[in-house]
Amino acid sequence: MCDLPPLSPRDWSSHPPYVYPDYKSTALRGPTRPLIPLRENLRQLRAPVYGHDAIGPLDHDLTRNAAKNGEPLGERIIVTGRVLDERGRPVRGALVEVWQANAAGRYIHKVDQHDAPLDPNFLGAGRCLTDDEGRYRFLTIKPGAYPWGNHPNAWRPNHIHFSLFGEYFASRLVTQMYFPGDPLLAHDPIFQGTPAGARDRLISRFTLDVTEPGFALGYEFDIVLRGPNETPMEAPR
């Protein structure tokens, strides 16, 4: 085993609170009593949950992994980045999952009854493993904004949900990636619930280096797991 220095404490000031009044559903699901720490026997869960053989050749390509009779509608984009530890080192072999709305702003889920069309060629979910440099890469469709009923005339900005798994299932972290210049960010309680100094870490960067000519725009979104630049996560405590 590697003899590494101890991890620095989590920067809790970078993460949104469990209960943020403007984000109304947090008042219903956020804990109101102190959390109970789990004992070390949680380590019994240290076992591969997903193996390399579980990743299909199209799992990272949301434009093809659910196609039935054509390509999905909308603007193709490439989303890539690195998963890094607190010292800027790559996290190799991490399972990265994404899920999102389609270009019209609708999820394939029975709870989503937004009056927008479903796309028969777009599932809105994908996954991949980080490589030796800690890099992941997805090809997808830019998600649309959608109403969500939190407050009058409430619309969610364009966003993609990210999930990361570590050595065992209980180590899952979840966050959201937003797009630069989105005017809805200023009106979104979920984004605004993140401490002001950490919000920019949730916004991807447009880059021509990732953009493929005549095919898809490119965005970079690095995910830092700890340290002063750690990415804000949902319900981290």
DSSP symbols for the chain: ---PPPPPPP-GGGSPPS--TTSTTHHHHS--SPPPPPPGGGGGG-S-SS-GGGS-TTTTBTTTTT-SSSPPSS-EEEEEEEEE-TTS-B-TT-EEEEE---TTS--SSTT---SS---TT---EEEEE--TTSEEEEEEEPPPPEE--SSTT-EEPSEEEEEEE-SSGGG-EEEEEE-TT-GGGGG-HHHHTS-GGGGGGGB-EE-TTTPBTTTBEEEE--EE-SSTTPPP-SS--
Q: Phi and psi for 43 in degrees, rounded to 5?
A: -65, -15
Strands lying side by side in the sheet with 125-129: 125-129, 95-99, 159-165, 173-178
**Whole-prediction pTM:** 0.82
Tokens read off for 188: 């979104």
pLDDT over threshold 80, residue 209: yes
Percent over 90 (pLDDT), the chain: 68
- Reference 15, options 33, 30, 36; nearest CA is 30
Question: Mean pLDDT score of the chain, rounded to an integer?
Answer: 87
Active site residues: 107, 146, 156, 159, 161
* Residue 131 pLDDT exceeds 50: yes
| H-helix or E-strand spanning residue 212 | none
* Residue 51 confidence (pLDDT): 52
Judged by average pLDDT, the poorest of 86-95, 109-118, 160-169 is: 160-169
The DSSP element (H or E) to which 71 belongs, if any, is none
Q: Flag the least confident range among 74-83, 140-149, 165-174, 210-219.
A: 165-174
d(CA 195, CA 233): 11
Q: What is the CA 214 to chain-centroid distance, rounded?
A: 27
pLDDT confidence band for 2 (50 / 70 / 90): very low
Residue that wins the pLDDT comparison between 203 and 40: 203
Average pLDDT over residues 70-96: 95
Mean pLDDT of 62-84: 97
pLDDT tens-digit series, residues 50-72: 555 689 999 999 999 999 999 99
pLDDT tens string 152-203 = 999 999 999 999 987 655 678 999 999 999 999 999 999 999 999 999 999 9
| Model confidence band, residue 44 (pLDDT cutoffs 50, 70, 90) | very low
Alpha-carbon distances, residue 120 vs 62, 72, 105, 117, 176 (angstroms): 12, 8, 14, 9, 24
Residue 48 has pLDDT above 90, yes or no: no
Structure confidence at residue 123 (pLDDT): 96
Between CA 178 and CA 191 the distance in angstroms is 9
The answer to whether the beta carbons of residues 73 and 141 sit under 8 Å apart is: yes
